[in-house]
A = this chain, B = another copy of it.
Amino acid sequence: MQATPFPTASVADSLTLFHQRAPLVHCLTNDVVQSFTANVLLALGASPAMVVDPGEAAQFSALADALLINIGTLEVSRADAMLAAIASATQAGTPWVLDPVAVGGLTYRTAFAQQLLTMKPAAIRGNASEILALAGEGSAGRGVDSGNDSWFALPAARSLAQRWSTCVAVTGEVDYVTDGQRDWAVSGGDPLMTRVVGTGCALSAVVAGFCALEGDRLAHVAAACAVMSRCGARAAQQASGPGSFIPGFLDALYAERGGVTV
């Protein structure tokens, strides 16, 4: 069975909605990627905000258009803020997205991610080893790098999506997006993206922003992956390495605001 390539025209449709909405994305994310995540959202015309006190996080999630929960540098106080923010987002009808960074190998975050699953994320974005671990199928991963191919993890993504009524994006050389019934494949990107910290984490924040849009959520999640992939490919073409990739990538995302397409 093969996943259908997500059509470029649909990317443009979602992106137009995204630029119109300019979503305010509340990011509870890991400390390593906060700045890059904010810059990616800003380049795309969205507004990032990182509010981490539990009380304020709850208050802010109700005002935001979407919420990102990234468990990369999990600590007890941050976990409290995440739970408070999710509860508040849920009450306000604000969609939230889970990035289960490095689940599988580490006990605390794996249990915490399992708990989060029951709180109805609008979407989940992870690499193959994270999605396999989240689906309870084990993984060879020893950290944030994925030793498994995203295609191999697609069945786990599908069962995860069905069980929790959510969209799952399992990303890698090809990204697969599924709601358990339908699948989309998104190609593109560049290996250089794996040599820059936070490209996956920033994608999850962008996915959160796209979940704020009206319409077909699965298509919007696929569009988020597609925008990041093609901007990554463009930036890699111009770059001499991961250092020059970073400004080029942000510039490419910014150029998307002008409706520039390949």
Q: How far is the CB of A62 from chain B (nearest CB, A)?
A: 10
Q: How far is the CB of A220 from chain B (nearest CB, A)?
A: 22
A63-B142, A107-B59 known; A251+B242 contact, CB < 8 A:
yes
A53-B76, A108-B56 known; A142+B24 contact, CB < 8 A:
yes
Question: Nearest chain-B residue to A109 (Cβ)?
Answer: B56
Within 8 A of B (CB), among A19-60: 24, 30-36, 38-39, 42-43, 47-53, 55-56, 59-60
Tell me, in angstroms, the Cα distance from A53 to B247 when the chains sit together: 32
Q: Is the CB of B102 within 8 A of A49?
A: yes
| A5 at the B interface (CB under 8 A) | no
Tell me, in angstroms, the Cα distance from A53 to B77 when the chains sit together: 10
Q: How far is the CB of A212 from chain B (nearest CB, A)?
A: 14
Q: Is the CB of A241 within 8 A of B251?
A: yes
Question: Nearest chain-B residue to A74 (Cβ)?
Answer: B53
| A250 at the B interface (CB under 8 A) | yes
Which of A86-94, A123-131, A166-174, A190-198 has 4 or more CB atoms under 8 Å from chain B? A190-198
Q: Is the CB of A30 within 8 A of B50?
A: yes
| A138 at the B interface (CB under 8 A) | no
Q: Is the CB of B242 within 8 A of A42?
A: yes
Q: Is the CB of A56 within 8 A of B106?
A: yes
Tell me, in angstroms, the Cα distance from A53 to B71 when the chains sit together: 11
Q: Is the CB of B251 within 8 A of A240?
A: yes
A51-B106, A108-B53, A108-B56 known; A39+B197 contact, CB < 8 A:
yes
Which residues of B are found within 8 Å of A205, using beta-carbon distances? none
